[in-house]
Structure 1
């Protein structure tokens, strides 16, 4: 039997190249490093779409986003698509979410029984890209370079305020799990927005890097004539040339990012401390994951939306006490769609519950199979259908080789073993003709780009029309309103105060049996 409870700690825009256990010697991530030393680190983990909402939909459903239309940051997840929260509830779990998941639409739970905070991003159709005019920026919500120009320390920000709430709510959920009369095991997702831009860090974490030599990007920005079309589009998306900035700006921004990685690491440590305090540590599996990475100036690019490694690789660490080998590293490529099968296997091993028959085919495979040596799978897929492109983009990885394609763009092929910085495109190398033929056949099997294009265009049109209509007259938002009944919290006159204090305490105190009873 494995651990019964499951804690998922999710970071936003966290590249593994800025995590200590993934080889970065400058960043301070003691709690992530400890988790990796106790569990399994997946060295080639990928987002299935390098953007917040699509990546999270793949994480939640175990399916590629093209199956149900999770195209972009304003794409809604149909309520008829099951998530791991639905399946775990069927297996007897109490499921909860604290923090960001960027669900879009009226359903803001998608299987979670409890949602402890609102989301940090909007739940409506306001952020729909427009593939009819793919070369035009939507200034209202597109990224720009303000996050780089304005990077540095800050006592408080919108994002710090949010993550402080997420951390506090997650701690409370763990304490509630320990002292509740509900006998079910829990699955809790603690989802932080950091280290996502803006790159503004609390001084206590900023000061951790006072004497640190902050490295500049390894690969500089290519000349325009030497750059690939999608990178050129992303330069325009982020309006990189609208401002002037230099090496000191880049170092300051990377320092703030590293400080915010340490901030998320701090919360991981606090959550693990709470598990220890409540006697739950030995009975709780922990998964560390992110929605996508961050280019951080590599190749002159910032943020995500790219299939280069800094954007599409993510950290993924799994620790199951008494189950997963300590310090193991899995080299085979895995991705977010592998999370749902993993959670179902963990739940079955931890409780003996039967795994429900999936309503939809799952595109992933349990991460435990890789740790147990029970699979020979050596490939994964990522899709991108949002801003910065006007056609569907596809990433295929097999072994150490990575292939990307998009109608109208030159194909790309990189050998990450000999070329980890993706400097030499081997797509036209005669020696790779057979490999290119294999990847092209795989791409055709995966999807029809013209059919995907039509679906994306239709979805964008519908959502733009509806968004415009809903802005007329009285506004009724879909944003989650956390439910709270303060009349049943703390001490109230209709309660037996002694009994209530005992019920809210963990561990339970010694019995109190006064003589007057």
Structure 2
């Protein structure tokens, strides 16, 4: 590589830098995997990766919605810093992704499969693509969703469209694996080449819950145990949660038999995803790449899967915002096998500082995240972790701050929520109105406002969405503007 600059950083190649494979699924709740303790879901390959690497027990997404979470993760910046409000946002010229950053370290940066980028730029700073998103998932006009009380999803097909069959999502994922395996095979034959970052994105286990028959055969719907809150009454819920449920047609939950079938299909999609991860691991571990390749697995957000009567995401309950996160480095493979776990709260925005750390780049002070490599095993270091939502179903902005045992949910123009997720893991008891927790609410609200101004951010989001709805916006969002809305 020459001495050219990439976005202001001198381009250089560190021959000792590891290769990096990042696997990103869509809508995989952390709890729905064997290595996170699920007694039924079969994920032998993720379990193997966790047994050989480090599992982060409390990893959270930047937003419980696909595009905002992904753009925040790829830029290493909060949703409000880059204006990634909803699934219609088009990344603009100021957006800097993992690709931009690691090219500065001399990496070849490659994409395969699901990325959910919108617009004509299908690389966003990466060098090349092996396969792309499905066409019908790509938005080009930048139109925002309608954030009005009367908006409702056309149906609740996200839970009612279930069963055993072949599906275009399954074919997409297999094709992405095929392309990634071929790439890895070629790179193993060229050990002297510059290091690479390979991002492999999967559709599964995102709805529709149509699962490959051979994977669904492992799960009998009749034996599925529904979550204790599956039939929770919408009338008894927080008004914001009730509004989201109505918007996504979750206000009248399907019967228990259908929910059992939907759950079994969700688990089957996770097992199919796990099979694809296993194919990638086998290719890495069966070649010279094994001793010089970092493997990372995570998901863009979770899936409620019936908890609190909700399917999909769009809320701040644990099944929607807590994601699996596993990191295996070459050094892990030379230690005595043991389960390494970190309990500290971490965020997907921490991945960019981690990738920069692995690539030998110096820390970038403007990034709000931190390298995961700086957290020792068993670390309980406390740091506020932020998630936020500004899309359909939630008329006014919603913000979540997770700090240790407490989760604080702030809703513009509505009362907040407070949960103690240690004593109340199902998040059934809202403590926000309890006088004994007034100090905790005050502390967490102050912590939230140190990161983001909720009211100003809500106004910014709505104004940007109004401009985009009328076609008057210069659709360059999200361009980095770190000082706005703080």
TM-score (norm. length: structure 1) = 0.83
Q: Give the Å deviation of 1:423.
A: 0.6
Cα deviation 1:356-403 (Å, max 9, x = unaligned): x64x81111111111368893433111111111121111001111100
Partners of 1:392 and 1:188 in 2: CA distance: 34
Give yes or no for contact 2:221–2:263 (8 Å, CA) kept in 1.
no
- Give the match for residue 493 of structure 1: none
Q: For 1:444, what is the secondary structure of its paired residue? A: helix
Partners of 2:90 and 2:378 in 1: CA distance: 37
Q: For 2:279, what is the secondary structure of its paired residue? A: helix
Pairing 1:90–2:104 present: yes
Pairing 1:61–2:75 present: yes
C-alpha change, 1:249 and 1:204, in structure 2 (3 Å) is same
Give yes or no for contact 2:343–2:380 (8 Å, CA) kept in 1.
no
Pairing 1:376–2:381 present: yes
Pairing 1:147–2:161 present: no
Q: For structure 1, list consecutive stretches of 5 or more residues without a partner in the other structure.
A: 349-353, 471-517
One of 461, 466, 477 as aligned partner of 2:466: 461
Pairing 1:343–2:343 present: no
One of 258, 261, 274 as aligned partner of 1:252: 261
- Give the match for residue 327 of structure 1: 339
- Give the match for residue 178 of structure 1: 188
Q: Give the Å deviation of 1:241.
A: 5.1
Q: For 2:375, what is the secondary structure of its paired residue? A: helix
- Give the match for residue 33 of structure 1: 47
C-alpha change, 1:181 and 1:328, in structure 2 (3 Å) is closer
Partners of 1:38 and 1:290 in 2: CA distance: 19
Q: Give the Å deviation of 1:468.
A: 12
Which structure has the bigger radius of gyration? 1
Q: Which one is further off, 310-319 or 446-455?
A: 446-455
Partners of 1:105 and 1:79 in 2: CA distance: 12
Q: For 1:209, what is the secondary structure of its paired residue? A: coil
Partners of 1:211 and 1:297 in 2: CA distance: 14
Give yes or no for contact 1:403–1:412 (8 Å, CA) kept in 2.
yes
Aligned length: 456
- Give the match for residue 391 of structure 2: 386
- Give the match for residue 490 of structure 1: none
Partners of 2:261 and 2:235 in 1: CA distance: 29
Cα deviation 1:297-333 (Å, max 9, x = unaligned): 1111000111001111100011112148741111111
Pairing 1:102–2:88 present: no
Cα deviation 1:146-186 (Å, max 9, x = unaligned): 232231100x2121121121111111221222234871111
- Give the match for residue 231 of structure 1: 241
Q: Give the Å deviation of 1:126.
A: 5.8
Q: For 1:37, what is the secondary structure of its paired residue? A: helix
- Give the match for residue 489 of structure 1: none
One of 262, 281, 284 as aligned partner of 2:290: 281
Partners of 2:80 and 2:389 in 1: CA distance: 9
Pairing 1:191–2:201 present: yes
Pairing 1:219–2:229 present: yes
C-alpha change, 1:275 and 1:442, in structure 2 (3 Å) is same
Partners of 1:240 and 1:454 in 2: CA distance: 28
Partners of 2:261 and 2:160 in 1: CA distance: 9
C-alpha change, 1:467 and 1:292, in structure 2 (3 Å) is farther
- Give the match for residue 409 of structure 1: 414
- Give the match for residue 85 of structure 2: 71
Partners of 2:262 and 2:327 in 1: CA distance: 30
Give yes or no for contact 1:98–1:115 (8 Å, CA) kept in 2.
yes
TM-score (norm. length: structure 2) = 0.89
- Give the match for residue 436 of structure 2: 431
Partners of 2:16 and 2:301 in 1: CA distance: 29
